[in-house]
Chain A
Amino acid sequence: MDQPQSILTAILLTPLIGSVAIALMPPEWARKLAIAFSAAMLALSAFATQSFKPGTAGYQFEQIVTWITSPFPVQYHVGVDGFSLCLVVLTAFVTLMAVLASESIGDNRPKLFYSFVMLLTLSILGVFVSLDLLQFFIMYELELVPMYFLIAIWGGPRRDYAAMKFLLYTFFGGVLMLGGLLYLYFALTVDNPAMVTFDMVKLAQVAPLLPKSAQLIAFLGFFLAFIIKLPSFPFHTWLPDAHVEAPTPISMILAGLLLKMGSYGLVRICMDFFPTVFIDYGHWIMALGAFNIVWAAMACLVQTDMKRIIAFSSVSHMGFVLLGIGSLSAAAVNGAIFQMISHGVISAALFFLVGCVYERTHTRDIHEIGGGLAKEMPYVFYMWMFAVMANLGLPGLAGFVAEAAVFYGAYTSPMALTTAPHHAMVQTAIVIACTGVILTAGYMLWLFKRLFFGELLAKWQGHLSDARSTEKVVGWALCLSILILGIYPMLLINQYGNVADAVTRGVVSKMSISQKPETQL
């Protein structure tokens, strides 16, 4: 079967047309249009998956339109491999879920709201399908605009502060990335003028040939930008604030998709372009990941705001991505990618469920809610139970696959071999990260208990209602996908597995050149 070459452009255009259409049509159509366009996006990405050939090396559905070539090349270049395709599908899916979950929040200025959501989706999709670094950067920055307004207009009481903090951090990250990008460009000009390009496919071949020091500086620009987005300690503080103030559907997109832009960039750009940095400093990246996992989990144990707990839990779970990619084991990188997708679905589910509770109680404070909600809202209770179990990494659900792959992969990785220079540090980091399984169980179950178990407070008697039908649909869709990914992870791994293997092989092959282990001498 011939592959539909312009499918990616079609996927990109859908939210763009959607956002314009919503803006032009009457407000009562806004929600329906948004659902229709998100569903169309999901259908298109499903179609793309259908005609995608998994296991084939390189990018598919590639499309290049050159604009100018001098003084520097500007082009439109899209394409996907299994990894980015998975994220495209995730984006379409989570967007549809978020739009469905906007039932109550979207009544306030619906045209503007849904229009912004569509614009946001455009930029996220743009990041995942772009194969040109400039285009990638523009898409990466474009997300700021709709997100800022979505938080600042529809957010909670402290929305101005949160939106500004989000804006500043992300903008700061963007500036760093721009710096890295320009530096990379200039470094290439000096190193190999014939090969100067912003094309990511070509950059993946030429950038690793740059001198170590140049790689390091360019890497730092990109890496800092991505770990601000991820987010990682010490640049994570925007996340809890943004989440707490953002409305439910925006939190779903924020945690489910936006954070993935950072982790996507870490694999796609940092690992592909700057392998020597990973070889020299991979153990520090792992240590940072382990620290994130444990420290954010500790932070969860001392919070009293349920949404803040879930937000910190995101920080903790994204630590697995750092731990995985730093280890340079194919299995762990594979797990890191799986974590992006599983966390995308699980965190969307959790924020959605937090929203369900918040909408009824109008407080996020666990003490004020006081427990016993299971009595009045059993349906929400069971969905919560499922999502809690998914979040604490219960086997059979999506979160476990990623965690297990990262742990097993990292512990058997080249970084942890007894011949590796920093193996003691790496092993310690992994064992510390493993304590995360206890802490995660602790804070998730504690949260769950304090919300749903025990006796219902008198003030809630008769004031709560169980899930509405839209909420049931969203809940079921999210929970089922978590279950399916957990029972049959090969569904995803078949798509992106070769990318994880290839990326890792790319880095490790440089290792034998730069380090020359004694065994080979």
Chain B
Amino acid sequence: MDQSIDYWRQVIELSPWIVATPFLVGFGIILLNTLVGSSTKLVKTLSMVASVGGVLYGFIHSLLLFQALVKHPELVPWVKNIPYFTSASFTFTVGVLIDNLAVFMMLVVTSVSLLVQIYTHGYMREDPGYSRFYCYLSLFTGSMLGLVVATNLFQSFIFWELVGVCSYFLIGFWWNKESAAQACMKAFVINRVGDFGFLVGILWFFAVTYSVWSGHPVLQFFDKDGYDVAGVIQKAYLAKNLDVQTLWFISMVMFMGPMAKSAQFMLHTWLPDAMEGPTPISALIHAATMVAAGIYLVARAYPIWQSADGTPGGMGLTFVAIIGAATAFMAATIAMSQYDIKRVLAWSTVSQLGYMFVGLGAGAYTGGLFHLFNHAFFKAMLFLCSGAVIHGLAGEQDIRKMGGLKKSMPITAICFLIGTISISGCPGFSGFFSKDEIIGAATAMDPMLGGVMILTAGLTAFYMFRVYFMTFEGAYRGNAHPHESPLVMTAPLMVLAVPSILSGYLGFNFASLGAISFTGEHGKAFSNWFGSFIYFKQPVFEGINGTVMLSSIGFAAAGFLVAYLMYVAGSLKWNQAIAESKSPLVQGIYQFSFNKWYFDNLYMGLIQKVILPGFQAFWKLIDILIVDNIVNGAGIVARGMGEGLRYAQNGRGQYYALVIFGWVAGLTVLVFFLR
């Protein structure tokens, strides 16, 4: 194609429609449902076609954008802003920012959303809320794309909350289920806790840089005159408005937002419960896109997490890496003992998100985002596979009641296996490449950190193969009638299987294979395609550290082997040993993992035993003790005045009023002269 540069410029200038279309579709479906009702076949088909069409358009346009960026890198970053709130103090804008990072994420969002929406047609066909589901999916896709193209932190916050509320609607989609009702509320409230930190972080950041923005659109991610987050930090640092410590604290407070959205250590408890929602949204929202928003935000506003004085690294990033590592390890240990197929995958998502944060925190900017990219595909596929399993077993989610499904649902089994291999970090599959980059960077930052990540890789292989073996191998243990899903559901799986195997090669150059170093050093680096597209400031390529790579492969293989011996060969009986063990230590560890490190118990206990009673006591104290004393006084007055008003009703109102007004006038004059 030899279109002129004007053509590509136009492609970029029309990009706001990618965001607007799903919203219009969403509102259209609402109108349609209100005017016509949601039960007719026509409305259902229209909703589906409009929703899928909207995201299909988005996907095609994103591909065109991508082409434009490759052909004419000089056209970006492209920014278009409109004012949202103006005042003499400052102006907030919303708009569209197109650059490599945004287009990369748009591709991920639209492609996964497209496949999930196609899959939904099969999965939700019998559900009375079919049309409503497509409406929510469209609104979510629009909100997520709005977050991706956000030009400033304020706009990020807007769409950040909007994706959260879509997630709330979808988790609580089956509102008559008590567990779903609990889960959606929990998701929203915990996300609000994160948003609180996010908001305070932005406020703080805004306050210290306030004088520097000086009339420019505020909180921008990119500005051609340098009035963007990076430039302003530099200017504020030089003007001594901002020191290194302050920026550390700001970045840590602000990190609460990503911690909640991406379910990181301490604010993670909502994500596994979010599995109460229908499986397509677990794949789209709670695996591939929304939960990656935290990673995206940190990548987008990376300068905030860096050191203000411009030196590489910094406490902000270290904090990100530590939280990420803690999350990755914790979630992996929990995933090992869970029995709900979706929850194992959810914990695995939590763990993999931790990896991405370690990548960003350890300075592997490209590596972290590369893992986001690969993970989006294989985890979406894994969730859709689990959905197919649940669909085929009439709603069964307990892997103890599965087994042997390989025979009855071969496509699902193969796709699940591909996903499992990929996430376990088997060389040659996509997960391996990005995970290796992250582990390499983590090791370079701190060997301890690298060690934790390598250990976690082993655990990952174990719990993923445990799920695979318990679900698809051996003999069937349930009493449903397993059957393979229709093509509309399996086709998206098969499409997703392709990037799950191959997407890793985008970030790999075969030349580095020849330069592996086994001396504990990084080998010679060669440029790769992904790293030349997504980078911070300038592309950074890392060679392969053979020692690290081999040890992570070794741990993963060990994990696989243990799972195989325990669940297929049956020669290893650790699980029985644990179940029968009387040792309090063994039982304690098992229960610690099974009960998800007791976070839920802790939080619920805090809320029910401390916070709510605390509020109640506080409220009683103030409202009843202090205010009501006034009110009781007022009650006496009320009775007295009631008597007075009785006279007023007897026709002597004017005297009464006269007396009061007279008193007021008299007292005022008195106050005035006594002053």
B193-208 contact mask (Cβ, 8 Å, vs A): 1 or 0: 1011001100110110
B669 pairs with A186, CB closer than 8 A: yes
B675 pairs with A237, CB closer than 8 A: no
Q: Is B104 an interface residue (CB 8 A)?
A: no
CB contacts (< 8 Å) of B612 on chain A: these are: 301-302
Chain A residues numbered 312-355 whose CB sits less than 8 Å from any CB in chain B: 329-332, 334
CB contacts (< 8 Å) of A445 on chain B: these are: 168, 185, 188-189
A168 pairs with B87, CB closer than 8 A: no
- Report the nearest B residue to A184, measured CB to CB: B668
CB contacts (< 8 Å) of B642 on chain A: these are: 164
Chain B residues numbered 510-538 whose CB sits less than 8 Å from any CB in chain A: none
- Report the nearest A residue to B158, measured CB to CB: A395
**A435: which of B84, B182, B196, B630 is its contact (CB, 8 Å)?**
B196
- Report the nearest A residue to B161, measured CB to CB: A395
CB contacts (< 8 Å) of A441 on chain B: these are: 188-189, 192
- A344 CA to B622 CA in the complex, in Å? 27
Q: Is B363 an interface residue (CB 8 A)?
A: no
- Report the nearest B residue to A405, measured CB to CB: B85
Chain B residues numbered 70-101 whose CB sits less than 8 Å from any CB in chain A: 83-90, 92
Q: Is A489 an interface residue (CB 8 A)?
A: yes
**B181: which of A169, A400, A449 is its contact (CB, 8 Å)?**
A449
CB contacts (< 8 Å) of B195 on chain A: these are: 437
Q: Is B618 an interface residue (CB 8 A)?
A: yes
Q: Closest Cβ of chain B: how far from A76's Cβ, in Å? A: 21
A375 pairs with B199, CB closer than 8 A: no
Q: Is B309 an interface residue (CB 8 A)?
A: no
Q: Is B599 an interface residue (CB 8 A)?
A: no
Instruction: Indicate whether A302 sits within 8 Å of B84 (C-beta atoms), given known contacts A217-B671, A407-B199, A434-B200.
Output: no
- Report the nearest B residue to A329, measured CB to CB: B89
Q: Is A408 an interface residue (CB 8 A)?
A: yes
A138-152 contact mask (Cβ, 8 Å, vs B): 1 or 0: 000000000000000
B172 pairs with A453, CB closer than 8 A: yes
- Report the nearest A residue to B623, measured CB to CB: A299
- A305 CA to B393 CA in the complex, in Å? 43
Q: Closest Cβ of chain B: how far from A312's Cβ, in Å? A: 10
B interface, by DSSP: helix, strand, loop or mixed? Answer: helix
Instruction: Indicate whether A504 sits within 8 Å of B638 (C-beta atoms), given known contacts A182-B665, A375-B176, A411-B203.
Output: no
Chain A residues numbered 388-430 whose CB sits less than 8 Å from any CB in chain B: 389, 394-396, 400-401, 404-405, 407-409, 411-413, 416, 430
CB contacts (< 8 Å) of B661 on chain A: these are: 178
B631 pairs with A237, CB closer than 8 A: yes
CB contacts (< 8 Å) of A186 on chain B: these are: 668-669, 672
CB contacts (< 8 Å) of A407 on chain B: these are: 199, 203
**B616: which of A302, A385, A408 is its contact (CB, 8 Å)?**
A302
- Report the nearest B residue to A456, measured CB to CB: B176
Which of A91-99, A259-267, A493-501 lies at the interface?
A493-501
Instruction: Indicate whether A438 sits within 8 Å of B193 (C-beta atoms), given known contacts A412-B210, A497-B86, A505-B88.
Output: yes
- A405 CA to B185 CA in the complex, in Å? 26
A394 pairs with B622, CB closer than 8 A: no
A178 pairs with B161, CB closer than 8 A: no
B615 pairs with A302, CB closer than 8 A: yes
A412 pairs with B87, CB closer than 8 A: no
Q: Closest Cβ of chain A: how far from B649's Cβ, in Å? A: 12
B560-585 contact mask (Cβ, 8 Å, vs A): 1 or 0: 00000000000000000000000000
A412 pairs with B90, CB closer than 8 A: yes
CB contacts (< 8 Å) of A52 on chain B: these are: none
Centre residue among B182, B200, B206, B618 by max chain A CB count within 10 A: B200
Q: Closest Cβ of chain B: how far from A323's Cβ, in Å? A: 13
B89 pairs with A330, CB closer than 8 A: yes
Q: Is B634 an interface residue (CB 8 A)?
A: yes
B672 pairs with A431, CB closer than 8 A: no
- Report the nearest A residue to B617, measured CB to CB: A302
What is the interface size of chain A, counting residues whose CB is below 8 A from a CB of the partner?
A: 68
CB contacts (< 8 Å) of B188 on chain A: these are: 441, 445
Q: Is B597 an interface residue (CB 8 A)?
A: no
B151-169 contact mask (Cβ, 8 Å, vs A): 1 or 0: 0001001110110010011
CB contacts (< 8 Å) of B238 on chain A: these are: none
A234 pairs with B627, CB closer than 8 A: yes
- Report the nearest A residue to B172, measured CB to CB: A453
Instruction: Indicate whether A438 sits within 8 Å of B189 (C-beta atoms), given known contacts A237-B623, A407-B199.
Output: yes
A49-65 contact mask (Cβ, 8 Å, vs B): 1 or 0: 00000000000000000
CB contacts (< 8 Å) of B165 on chain A: these are: 389, 394
**A330: which of B87, B177, B185 is its contact (CB, 8 Å)?**
B87
B158 pairs with A217, CB closer than 8 A: no
A455 pairs with B178, CB closer than 8 A: yes
Instruction: Indicate whether A438 sits within 8 Å of B200 (C-beta atoms), given known contacts A234-B626, A401-B85.
Output: no
Chain A residues numbered 191-237 whose CB sits less than 8 Å from any CB in chain B: 213, 217, 233-234, 237
A165 pairs with B88, CB closer than 8 A: no
CB contacts (< 8 Å) of A504 on chain B: these are: 88
A168 pairs with B660, CB closer than 8 A: no
- A437 CA to B162 CA in the complex, in Å? 15
- A223 CA to B109 CA in the complex, in Å? 52
B611-641 contact mask (Cβ, 8 Å, vs A): 1 or 0: 0100110110011001110110010011001
Instruction: Indicate whether A409 sits within 8 Å of B631 (C-beta atoms), given known contacts A372-B176, A374-B175.
Output: no
- A431 CA to B200 CA in the complex, in Å? 7
Q: Closest Cβ of chain A: how far from B660's Cβ, in Å? A: 7
B83 pairs with A437, CB closer than 8 A: no
- A227 CA to B638 CA in the complex, in Å? 20
B660 pairs with A175, CB closer than 8 A: yes
**B675: which of A169, A213, A298, A493 is its contact (CB, 8 Å)?**
A213
CB contacts (< 8 Å) of B168 on chain A: these are: 445
A183 pairs with B86, CB closer than 8 A: no
B672 pairs with A187, CB closer than 8 A: yes
CB contacts (< 8 Å) of A217 on chain B: these are: 671, 675
- A454 CA to B642 CA in the complex, in Å? 46
Q: Is B664 an interface residue (CB 8 A)?
A: yes
B664 pairs with A175, CB closer than 8 A: yes
CB contacts (< 8 Å) of A187 on chain B: these are: 672
**B199: which of A178, A434, A442 is its contact (CB, 8 Å)?**
A434
- Report the nearest A residue to B614, measured CB to CB: A298
CB contacts (< 8 Å) of A408 on chain B: these are: 90, 92, 154, 203, 206
Q: Closest Cβ of chain A: how far from B484's Cβ, in Å? A: 34
A298 pairs with B618, CB closer than 8 A: yes
Q: Is B60 an interface residue (CB 8 A)?
A: no
B622 pairs with A454, CB closer than 8 A: no
Q: Closest Cβ of chain A: how far from B161's Cβ, in Å? A: 5
A489 pairs with B84, CB closer than 8 A: yes
- A225 CA to B470 CA in the complex, in Å? 70
Q: Closest Cβ of chain A: how far from B253's Cβ, in Å? A: 10
Q: Is A114 an interface residue (CB 8 A)?
A: no
Q: Is A113 an interface residue (CB 8 A)?
A: no
Q: Is A156 an interface residue (CB 8 A)?
A: no
Q: Is A179 an interface residue (CB 8 A)?
A: yes
Q: Is B487 an interface residue (CB 8 A)?
A: no
- A375 CA to B177 CA in the complex, in Å? 12
CB contacts (< 8 Å) of A405 on chain B: these are: 85, 87
A474-507 contact mask (Cβ, 8 Å, vs B): 1 or 0: 0000000000000001100100010011001100
Task: Name A's B-contacting residues (CB within 8 A).
Answer: 164-165, 168-169, 175, 178-179, 182-183, 186-187, 213, 217, 233-234, 237, 295, 298-299, 301-302, 329-332, 334, 372, 374-375, 385, 389, 394-396, 400-401, 404-405, 407-409, 411-413, 416, 430-431, 434-435, 437-438, 441-442, 445-446, 449, 452-455, 489-490, 493, 497, 500-501, 504-505
- Residue contacts A-B, CB under 8 angstroms, 17 given: A164-B642, A165-B631, A175-B664, A186-B668, A234-B626, A332-B89, A334-B87, A404-B157, A408-B92, A412-B207, A412-B210, A413-B89, A431-B200, A437-B199, A441-B189, A442-B189, A449-B181
Q: Which 5 A-B pairs have the closest CB atoms?
A: A453-B181, A330-B88, A395-B158, A331-B89, A501-B88
Identify 5 new A-B residue pairs, CB closer than 8 A, beyond the known A298-B615, A489-B84: A217-B671, A405-B87, A412-B90, A500-B88, A504-B88
